Amino acid sequence: MTESMQDIMHPGANSGSDPDFPHAPEGWTRSDAERIAKEEGITLTDEHWGVIHDMQEFYDKHPEPHIHVRELNDALEEKYHINGGIKHLYQLFSGGPTVQGCRIAGLKLPIEGEDHS
């Protein structure tokens, strides 16, 4: 069986269950994201989906145990700077683009972003 470069670089990555979210964690579905968002009072728009996609891509490109909350926030700030950066993302994810965004995107919270309550 021939392996693609993606398979070699990211073994065990999502097998493409949703072509719009190729970097999604295994087992993550849009319906799960919609359910979590609804429970948290969010109606997902195209803009939300874009942020979810970008967060999943960031995680796919960085080794998960080493992702720090500051690193993810900086990446989001840079990506969405033209729209207002993190301040704008707080309008989309009132519970915080990192914590709430990770929950909806099916991602583990980055280091220093875990809720210990």
Q: What is the pLDDT of residue 116?
A: 46
Given the structure tokens 């970008």, which residue do they identify? 54
Please give the sequence-ordered ranges of beta strands (E in DSSP) within the chain, or none if there are none: none
24-60 residue pLDDT tens: 999 999 999 999 999 999 999 999 999 999 999 999 9
Q: What's the pTM value of the predicted model, to 2 decimals? A: 0.80
Q: Which pLDDT band holds residue 5 (cuts at 50, 70, 90)?
A: low
53-90 residue pLDDT tens: 999 999 999 876 778 889 999 999 999 999 999 999 99
What own/partner pairs with CB < 8 Å and gap ≥ 24 does 105-109 have? 105/24, 105/28, 105/33, 105/52, 105/55, 105/56, 106/24, 106/25, 106/27, 106/28, 106/32, 106/33, 106/56, 107/25, 107/55, 107/56, 107/59, 108/64, 109/69
**Domains parsed from the chain with CATH numbers:** 46-117 (1.10.10.370)
